[in-house]
Amino acid sequence: MQSDLRGRDLIGDLDFSKEEVETILEVAWDLKRKRALGEPHAYLRDKTLAMLFFFSSTRTRGSFESGMAQLGGHAAFIESRTTQISHGDTETEMGEIFGRYFDGIAIRHVDFGIGNRYLNLVASASRVPILNMQCEIYHPHQCLADLMTIMEKKGRNLKRKKMVVSWAYASSYLKPMSVPQSLILQMPRFGLDVVLAHPPEFKLMPEIMEKAEEEARKAGAGFEVTDDMEAAFKDADIVYAKSWGPLMTTQDAAEGKVLQDKYKSWITDQRKMSLAKDDAIYMHPLPADRDVEVTSEVMDGPNSVVFDEAENRMHAQKAVMALTMR
């Protein structure tokens, strides 16, 4: 167990080693147990966290804010549009100043080509940990919660378990690629055989794909790519199907919507779930476009673990904060 993560940033999924991720999960389960038993665990008493949002949130804000309070500290909600950030505060200024006000800075910024750079520039100027609440490349805290949930449902030894990370149609907006990219980077490290399924226009970033293949090779895990959703689902232990935008093909919203609408059949329904193993779990980070991206029958069905997954966001994030901000 790697016990000293104090002061560390978590911006990309591979910022922490596999052993360090295991430490985070052990702490997360301990904090989850303490929460269930009503045991006090104010490890961050009198500590403060800045939560800086450039993109709206429900679960991310709620889980970080509640988690920080349970740890005995306070989280300050700061929205870029209602502060001077939108009028000229630079990344260096935010890192320098907020690094003096707060004990940690959490940032959610998903603008393509901008968000990840912003986080890293703030980190370069900050004396306190920078925590990525989602950028356009990574969503590391979601991925930690996903891994925690998978281990709760499928056991700690995930070797040779098949996980499908699939694109799914959504009628709302063109969503970031950060969730599937985090999943294909992190999950092979723990032995999962990952199958990535998406239409040809919905590829992920080439450098992320190369790194995912490298991580799978190092772990002796499988990593495959297909454009056949149904073939991917066959005999899966874990189904993780969500939408993302065709950002490697076009960054124009109107063009992206045209491409998206070509694949309305890419919906997770009971017929497709029947191709997976009987005890397969269905996962989604939420919010989902109900009966467009996934049917309500699947999302509310016995194989769905989406609410356990959402709860684990709080426990995993509490573990990261407790370890890095103490």
27 or 56, which is more confident: 27
Residues with Cβ within 8 Å of residue 63, at least 6 apart in sequence: 310, 313, 314, 317
Q: Are residues 100 and 118 in the same domain?
A: yes
Please check whether residue 3 lies inside any domain of the structure: no
Q: What is the per-residue pLDDT across 47-76, written as a single tens digit (0 to 9) for each?
A: 999 999 999 889 999 999 999 999 999 999
Q: Is the pLDDT of residue 1 over 80?
A: no
Q: Is the pLDDT of residue 83 over 90?
A: no
Kindly indicate the confidence band of residue 254, based on its pLDDT and cuts at 50, 70 and 90: very high
Q: Are residues 103 and 194 in the same domain?
A: no
Q: Are residues 107 and 179 in the same domain?
A: no
Q: Are residues 304 and 320 in the same domain?
A: no
Q: Are residues 101 and 161 in the same domain?
A: no
Mean pLDDT value across residues 113-137: 98
CA distance 117 to 246: 20
Q: Is the pLDDT of residue 232 over 90?
A: yes
Edge-first strand order for the sheet with 104-109 is 74-79, 48-53, 104-109, 130-135
Amino acid at 300: D
Radius of gyration of the chain (CA): 19
Total domains in the chain come to 2
Please check whether residue 262 lies inside any domain of the structure: yes
| CATH number for 261 | 3.40.50.1370
Mean pLDDT value across residues 107-130: 98
Q: Are residues 252 and 120 in the same domain?
A: no
Q: What is the per-residue pLDDT across 198-207, written as a single tens digit (0 to 9) for each?
A: 999 999 999 9
Check residue 86 and give its pLDDT: 81
CA distance 190 to 291: 32
Q: Are residues 160 and 255 in the same domain?
A: yes
Q: Are residues 267 and 152 in the same domain?
A: yes
Q: Are residues 100 and 153 in the same domain?
A: no
Q: Is the pLDDT of residue 90 over 90?
A: yes
Check residue 219 and give its pLDDT: 98
Check residue 228 and give its pLDDT: 98
Q: Is the pLDDT of residue 310 over 90?
A: yes
The CA-based diameter of the chain, rounded to the nearest angstrom, is 54
Kindly indicate the confidence band of residue 129, based on its pLDDT and cuts at 50, 70 and 90: very high
Mean pLDDT value across residues 252-278: 97
Mean residue pLDDT of the chain comes to 97
Range of the domain at 318: 13-139+313-324
Q: Are residues 241 and 279 in the same domain?
A: yes
Q: What is the per-residue pLDDT across 146-164, written as a single tens digit (0 to 9) for each?
A: 999 999 999 999 999 999 9
* 213 to 13, 207, 243: CA distances (angstroms): 15, 10, 22
Check residue 56 and give its pLDDT: 86
Q: Tokens in use for 110?
A: 């998903």
Whether pTM exceeds 0.95: yes
